[in-house]
Structure 1
Amino acid sequence: MKSYLYLFILIFVPMQFWAQSNKLQFKTTHGSFKVMLYDFTPKHKELILDAIRNDVYKNALFNRVIENFVVQGGEHDDDIALREKDLPTNEHYRLPAEFDSRVFHKMGALGAGRDDNPQKASFLNQIYFVVGKSVSVDDLDTIEQKKGIKFTKEQRETYFSKGGLPRLDGDYTVFGEVSEGFDVLLKISKLKTNEKDAPLQPVSFEIIEINE
């Protein structure tokens, strides 16, 4: 219920000028890494900051791990579907998408999970990190033609040099990126999983705000 209150506050309270460079530390059972939140996506930034301050991610798990794709954690799709099963659609609370050409699905990008709602709005308590793969010119050209989008010069150069998941651009909100310790995520992404992509050994995490 707390999360729903935060959602309404974020949507209807007038925008403010948020402080620059909010940073987080993720402490996992396989090591720690740091994340920088984007000011370009203020509502998603404030959502996760509020969640951290109110222990929403306390004892959280990375519960969907796919090598060369994503490491996903927080509330699982199945749990969300079960919780919302008997609720009317207008009570399936989501955070409206925030798309910005400066943020995209490069390696280490932090995104918000969602279902197939037509507004592409985000779940309140589900996040993922991109541990994608190499990207070619043909890959980007094909995606542009299929989705009717145009990648910027910066996006193309970053995808070619670092890789990522460009096919998710414009469909899922990206609101941060790993600034240190990406090797920890890569290690997690290679763990053995079951048929539902859940690690055979639970991977827990906690998130703290840091000041540098």
Structure 2
Amino acid sequence: MKPNHLKKSVFLLLFGITGLACSTERDHLVTIETRHGNMYAILYDQTPAHKANFLKLAEEGRFDSTEFHRVINEFMIQGGDVFGLENLPEEEWYTLPAEIHPNLIHEKGSLAAARQGDNINPERRSSGCQFYIVQGKVYDELTLNTDMKKLQEAFMRFLQLESNKPLREKYVSHYQNGEFDSLNALMLSKKVELEQFLNVNLDNEKRPNQLQAYTSVGGTPHLDDGYTVFGKVIKGLDVLDKIASEPTDRMDKPANPVVMKVKVSEINRRKITEEYGYEYPDAK
């Protein structure tokens, strides 16, 4: 064989091996079974500690019979209290180091790790078992790019002016009637005026990936950069919505328990894309 033919053959062989490797690369598909149906999820490689921990608990069957014990409509569903179910002493309730990435956000369907608050957990370490699935809601761009806490503080100062008595009465009416969407819309309508009158900046501009997600599929943007997002539901969002709509008690626990069973399967990544519609970021 001539040298140039040999080089060409070697190149084709290497190309074929590379293509074969890409087509046979496998990933873990998580199936969360509930009485409302199944949710299917993938776990992110960017959060290796959380991915490995979740898979270990699932493969050992330790999530089975745990409940979605905290459910808040238009916010999230939380479950997976393995340690509580197994009656482990609190000193054995291990935590995981935070793996927070700006590209992994709280869009609808995201899996994220529950944790204790910053006041006792400044490192933002995650629970070793409890997780939540984001439902949230869709936002308009103006709301998304506004610091709503600062807006409310500025608006309340503005209402103290005697000349704003009609505006104050409208605010009180919305509040007393529980019309909170109308109340927010009223405050947002005064944003520019408030910034000019009080000489304040009420912006809270979001990153492009946040804008795209939260104005389309929705989610819970205020949790970004504070909790570890480690996976995503890629099929079964209707099941998420059904669970989020469950009647709950004062502690946000469903009156009719929503028990889960979690299974893990190793599947070709290409098959996951074809059957579940999830596009891997590094896919070509």
Q: What do residues 29-77 of structure 1 show as CA deviations (whole Å, max 9, x unaligned)?
A: 1111100111111111001001112222121111011100011101189
Give the corresponding residue for 1:103. Answer: 104
| Runs of 4+ more than 4 Å apart | 76-80, 143-146
Aligned length: 187
2:123 matched residue in structure 1 = 119
Deviation at 1:134, TM superposition (A): 1.4
Match of 1:49 in 2: 55
Q: What is residue 142 of structure 2 aligned with on the other side?
A: 138
Contact persistence 1:131–1:186 (CA under 8 A): yes
2:76 to 50, 70, 78: 70
Residues 24 and 149 of structure 1: CA distance in aligned 2, closer, same or farther (over 3 Å): farther
Partner of 1:24: 30
Q: Residues 175-186 of structure 1: matches in 2 within 5 Å?
A: 175-186=230-241
How far the C-alpha of 1:93 sits from its partner, in A, is 2.8
Task: Pick closer, same or farther for the CA change 1:20–1:153 going to 2, 3 Å.
Answer: farther
Shift of 1:145: 9.6
Structure 2, unpaired ranges of 5+: 1-24, 151-202, 272-284
- How many angstroms does 1:152 deviate by? 2.5
Shift, 1:137, TM fit: 2.2
Paired with 2:27 and 2:106, the residues of 1 have a C-alpha distance of 19
Q: Describe the SS at the equivalent of 1:45.
A: helix
Distance in 2 between the 1:143 and 1:111 partners? 23
CA distance in 2, matches of 1:192, 1:156: 31
Partner of 1:195: 250
2:135 and 2:241 in contact (8 A); partners too: yes
User: Cα RMSD (Å) of the superposition?
Assistant: 2.7
The one-letter amino acid of 1:37's match is L
Q: What SS does the aligned partner of 2:57 have?
A: helix
| Aligned residue identity for 1:165 | T
1:1-20 mapped onto 2 (5 Å cutoff): none
SS in structure 1 opposite 2:215? helix
Q: Displacement of 1:103 after TM fit? A: 0.9
Task: Give the counterpart letter for 1:22 in structure 2.
Answer: H
Q: Secondary structure at the match of 1:103?
A: coil
Tell me the amino acid that sits aligned with residue 114 of structure 2: G
Further displaced range: 152-161 or 71-80? 71-80
Aligned equivalents of 2:110, 2:230: Cα separation in 1 = 8
Contact 2:93 2:128 (8 Å CA) reproduced: no
% identical equivalent positions:
36
Amino acid at match of 1:182: L
Equivalent position amino acid for 1:155 in 2: Q
**Partner Cα separation in structure 2 for residue 83 and residue 149 of structure 1:** 42
Using the size of structure 2 for normalisation, the TM-score is: 0.60
Residues 64-98 of structure 1 show CA distances to partners (whole Å, capped at 9, x for unaligned) of 11100011101189889x943xx5xxx76310111
Amino acid of the structure 2 residue aligned with 1:104: I
Q: Which structure has the bigger radius of gyration? A: 2
Q: CA deviation at 1:144?
A: 10
Deviation at 1:197, TM superposition (A): 0.5
TM-score, normalising length: structure 1 = 0.79
Tell me the distance in 2 between the aligned counterparts of 1:20 and 1:168.
Answer: 31
Measure how far apart 1:21 and its partner are: 3.5
The residue identity in structure 1 corresponding to 2:259 is S
